[in-house]
Amino acid sequence: NEAPADVVHPEVRAHINSLVSALGGFDEDGQYQLGDDALEVLRDIKKWMRFYDQKLNRMDVARCVSETNLVNGDILAILASWHENATLQRFRSRVALACYELMTPLTWPLEKDAETATVNYYRHLPVLRLAQVGYKRAIINYDGAQILHTAIRVALPSMAVPLGDRTLRDQGIIRLVLFFLRNIVMIEPPAGVKYDGDESQISRSATIDAFSYQEIFLVLLTMASNMGEDFRTEDSTVMEIIFHLVKGVDTAKLFMNETQLSTAKASELTDMMKKEEAMIHAFNQNGPTRHSRFGTMVWVDRGEGKMSALSGQDALLSSAAREQKMDNSKKYRPPRRGRKGPDKKDLVGLGAQISLNARANGQLRKFVEEFLDAGFNPLFQHVRRSIDREAPHILHHHRAQFFYLVSWFLAAERARQKAQQSKLKSGQRKPAANPADEITSFNLVAGVLNQEMFIFMGRALDRSYNDKDWKELSVVMRCFTQILLTVQEMYESGNEDDEEIAENILSRLFYEDTTHDAIANIIKSYKDQGLDYLDACTELVHTYLRILEAYSKQNVDLQVRSRQRTRKKKKAAKAAANAAAAGIDASADGAESLVPDAQADDDDSANDEEMAQKASSERKFDFKKFANRFVSQGVVDTFVKFTANYKDMTDDQLKRAHRYFYRVAFKQDMSVMLFRVDIIKLFYDMIKGTTPLDRHSSMYREWEELSKQILRRCMKKIEDRPVLIIEMLFSKTPSTAHFLEYGFEKQTVSTT
């Protein structure tokens, strides 16, 4: 009774152990010899897994297998002994298939679902996660044979059969092998555990290397480009494999050549070092000059005969430092609502950014280029249709993966074109450049630029917003942004056909008023959805506004379809009067009082039914009025929360925030919306605070100028309207903001 009880039933362990030892072994020459009943043994283990583990919802067999060296010692050796020219041996190929039938469930992604999890899950999961990493290392780095390639050999006879003639068994084999590949790409060292093996053996680079060397990329390309013809239900799995291969890879770096890459990396390093230096410098300037027990104490005169005591030398620095010290010494924290339960498992599984080594970078680039050339349109159009008709093989996380991949490949395509253009430019000087390097056309990605896709995306935007599925929503928003950027580039490409298509797309995109509403709503209602979401929605709004502005300038008579209310004539005026009396900001002027804002729509619901009915009609698009919706307090707050992370923001993100505030203050003339103490404090802190922006960064100048202008306006406003001192504490309603800005009430219909 001294030994700790085994975590699995001893009989199960005994059964599995005897099965594994009956499978076969190495003879004196180091050759693997199959046991007499090897095929039956493999089938028995499979039965154990199915009828013990899966049926009873335990993970005991998987645990036992992980402790027996079955994969490493037996299965890989068996597969290695199945030679290329022995493909026709029926028995050997059946053994090989049985091996993959074991490995696929063994490498299946482990998820802890709190509702079905048994005690065994919590007991075995940590061990099994590590065991899977071990499987992946063994499979990718196995010297004796190409295990991934062998998997394809298993499926090849079934793939060769035309789609119509494939039996259920054939389809099952193809699926099995694809899932095996998916599992292998997907396995990563569990988060929060220090992996004690060689990371480079299981890293993304190693995976890509193995995929390229064992010609899996070719298979993926073939399947993707024949999607819809020779393959149907495999679309989601192929997409998943590609997703796990490219997620987190920086598209810009992917298309750099080696010298560019090394300069990019070097400049990244110098940037980081400069940042660190600045941090240390800032600390040293304010740091103590004497030892910690020097014991300085100061009185601060705060007026009205009041004094505060502060200790420490840093209190001598400046009054700003004293005030900050007073503030920091406070212990109280306002009560916060706890987080809503533990975070659900990230099904999309987007990890951090991945950096590849030069070799893998080249291999992946080649794959991505070939995929864009041949597989992009057929695969993604097929997947979109599958998702659209809610096909049974589509799972919930496939939508998010779809949107992620579309945005990733669009970004990759643009990066490629950029790289090629710069190559062409340098090629003009060197006539030796390959003339076959012509600029790729936007046709390659046309499959996601059609009307069906836009409708699909609009619906996804709505749906994930209503379901509060923020992760999916942020991926959809990123996809939308990438599409906008691609169309924008087409519009400016100089190619007449492309420009015409882009023009059409833009006019369709901006025609539906509902999209405008949706985007304005999303950014307005940000609350605790996380940084990634914040980044995605600000990026979308930035891009959307910018492109729409440019487009509406060139097309002065842009029409949009809006849903609006048609009312009986008499009551229309009355309702407008009511709305105005209630202090609701009806539309800008009398002529357009028939087009009330969404706000006004909600308010006079009392006599709704009799007098109002919805209809859609066209009206002229007014960009100024549209942009005004992005000046409301909710949107300003979102951007303020975004900018509050200025210390960690990239130049692009800083620019985005800068342009927005510039638009609010100077283009829309509503700088009053920014006059709130916390916002003013943010602007001040970015430039003159204790942790300002990096002085040497390129965005510093622009931000300094913007802050200065806004602060100047603020001071002037305070002198003009002393009541602003009070209003600076609060969020402003549109009417007070209007009064503070212009000094008179907004003219509404009723007051005339």
Partner 1 sequence: SKESATEGLGIDKEVEVKKRAREPRVKLDEARLLSDQGIPALRKRARVLKIKGKGHEFSDTYRLLSMYQLWLDDLFPKARFADALAMVEKEGHKTSMHKMRTEWINESKPRDIMAE
User: Which residues ranging from 309 to 328 are in contact with partner 1 (CB under 8 A)?
Assistant: 319-320, 323, 326-328
Q: Which of 641, 721, 746, 750 binds partner 1 (CB under 8 A)?
A: 721
Span of 178-186, 200-208, 360-368, 711-719 interacting with partner 1 by CB under 8 A: 711-719
Query: Residue type for 469, please?
Result: D
Q: Which of 739, 741, 748, 749 binds partner 1 (CB under 8 A)?
A: 739
> Taking the complex as a whole, how short is the minimal distance between the CB of residue 708 and partner 1, in angstroms?
5
Query: Residue type for 92, please?
Result: R
Of 394 and 737, nearer to partner 1 (C-beta) is 737
Number of residues that bind partner 1 (CB under 8 A): 45
26 forms bridges with which residues in the sheet?
32
563 forms bridges with which residues in the sheet?
616
From CA 267, how far away is CA 260, in angstroms rounded? 10
* 581 binds partner 1, rule: CB under 8 A: no
What residues contact residue 327 under an 8 Å CB cut-off, 6+ apart?
none
Q: Which of 418, 708, 742, 747 binds partner 1 (CB under 8 A)?
A: 708
Neighbours of 627 (CB within 10 A): 17
DSSP annotation of 79 = H
> Taking the complex as a whole, how short is the minimal distance between the CB of residue 331 and partner 1, in angstroms?
8
> Taking the complex as a whole, how short is the minimal distance between the CB of residue 718 and partner 1, in angstroms?
7
Q: Could you tell me the two tokens for 556? A: 């002065």
Find, among 613, 559, 621, 614, the residue nearest to 592 by Cα. Answer: 621
DSSP annotation of 630 = G
Neighbours of 672 (CB within 10 A): 25
The phi and psi torsions of 566 (rounded to 5 degrees) equal -105, 130
Q: Which of 130, 156, 298, 711 binds partner 1 (CB under 8 A)?
A: 711
Of 688 and 695, nearer to partner 1 (C-beta) is 688
Of 192 and 334, nearer to partner 1 (C-beta) is 334
* 27 binds partner 1, rule: CB under 8 A: no
> Taking the complex as a whole, how short is the minimal distance between the CB of residue 640 and partner 1, in angstroms?
12
Decide if 549 contacts 661 (C-beta within 8 A).
no
Of 472 and 727, nearer to partner 1 (C-beta) is 727
Of 160 and 723, nearer to partner 1 (C-beta) is 723
Find, among 738, 474, 502, 487, the residue nearest to 631 by Cα. Answer: 738
CA dihedral sign, ordered 152, 154, 160, 163: negative
* 716 binds partner 1, rule: CB under 8 A: yes
What residues contact residue 192 under an 8 Å CB cut-off, 6+ apart?
none
Decide if 148 contacts 181 (C-beta within 8 A).
yes
Q: Which of 240, 472, 539, 727 binds partner 1 (CB under 8 A)?
A: 727
DSSP annotation of 72 = I
Q: Could you tell me the two tokens for 252? A: 């810009």
* 705 binds partner 1, rule: CB under 8 A: no
Per-residue contact track with partner 1, 334 to 353, x per CB under 8 A?
A: x-------------------
User: Which residues ranging from 285 to 314 are in contact with partner 1 (CB under 8 A)?
Assistant: 302-303, 306
Size of the chain in residues: 752
User: Which residues ranging from 678 to 697 are in contact with partner 1 (CB under 8 A)?
Assistant: 678, 680-681, 683-684, 687-688
CA dihedral 654, 659, 660, 662 (to 10 degrees): 120
* 701 binds partner 1, rule: CB under 8 A: no
* 726 binds partner 1, rule: CB under 8 A: yes
Which stretches of the chain bind partner 1, using CB under 8 A? Answer: 302-303, 306, 319-320, 323, 326-328, 330, 332-334, 676-678, 680-681, 683-684, 687-688, 707-708, 711-712, 714-716, 718-723, 725-731, 736, 739, 743
